[in-house]
């Protein structure tokens, strides 16, 4: 029996990351509140890692926290009544959100607003900055839209959307 070749899947076309800068907040508190481990973080006052041993020691002037976001993982186990249960699986829903930037940004806006709005408002009130970084593959994403509700949620939270086109 000859093996059949599976159709090639479309590559992931975008990456979402959350970046927080704050005058003094402990990044461990941000991680605890958001329930996300950062890829990179440091706290204001911690020594900076310098490339040169000649330069005088310096400290970070602000706290910094950066983590990848995975909106498709936020989708709970959805139960659909028959006949939809046999048509739409949880994996298909997760795949759709992982490949559709419009849906992912909308889900991200809802999640940040509903689950973490108080923390994000505090960060902004303390002089912090919050950004959702969107890295796009120009070859994989031809267009996307931002729903008015998502734009409003990001705006009300004071979250900046930053877009970067990646060269594949």
Read out DSSP for 96-158? Answer: HHHH-HHHHHHHHHHHHHHHHHHHHHHHHHTT-EEEEEEEEETTT-S-----HHHHHHHHHHT
More confident residue, 67 or 54: 67
So what's the pLDDT on residue 29? 96
Is the pLDDT reported for residue 154 higher than 80?
A: yes
Task: Check pLDDT > 60 for residue 120.
Answer: yes
pTM for the full predicted model? 0.78
Check whether 27 has a pLDDT greater than 90. yes
Residue-level pLDDT at 131: 97
**What length does the chain have?**
168
Domain boundaries, the chain: 14-43+60-166
**Using one digit for the tens of pLDDT, what is the confidence trace for 90-103?**
666 666 666 788 88
Element spanning 163, H or E? strand 159-166
Predicted confidence band at 152 (pLDDT cuts at 50, 70, 90)? Answer: very high
Cα–Cα distance, 29 to 35 (Å, whole number) = 10
> Can you say how many angstroms the Cα of residue 56 is from the centroid of all Cα atoms in its chain?
35
Pair 30, 116: CB distance under 8 Å: no
Q: Which pLDDT band holds residue 66 (cuts at 50, 70, 90)? A: very high
């Amino acid at each position: 029996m000859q093996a059949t070749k599976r159709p090639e899947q479309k590559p992931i076309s975008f990456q979402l990351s959350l970046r927080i800068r704050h005058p003094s907040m402990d990044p461990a508190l941000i991680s605890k509140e958001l329930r996300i481990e950062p890829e990179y973080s440091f706290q204001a006052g911690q020594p900076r890692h310098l490339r040169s041993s000649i330069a005088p020691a310096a400290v970070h002037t602000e706290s910094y926290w950066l983590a990848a976001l995975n909106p498709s993982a936020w989708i709970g186990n959805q139960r659909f009544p028959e006949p939809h249960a046999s048509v739409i699986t949880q994996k298909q829903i997760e795949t759709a959100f992982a490949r559709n930037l419009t849906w992912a940004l909308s889900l991200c806006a809802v999640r940040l607003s509903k689950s973490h709005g108080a923390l994000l408002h505090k960060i902004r009130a303390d002089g912090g900055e919050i950004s959702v970084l969107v890295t796009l593959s120009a070859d994989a994403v031809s267009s996307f839209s931002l729903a008015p509700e998502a734009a409003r949620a990001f705006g009300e939270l004071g979250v900046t959307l930053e877009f970067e086109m990646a060269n594949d």
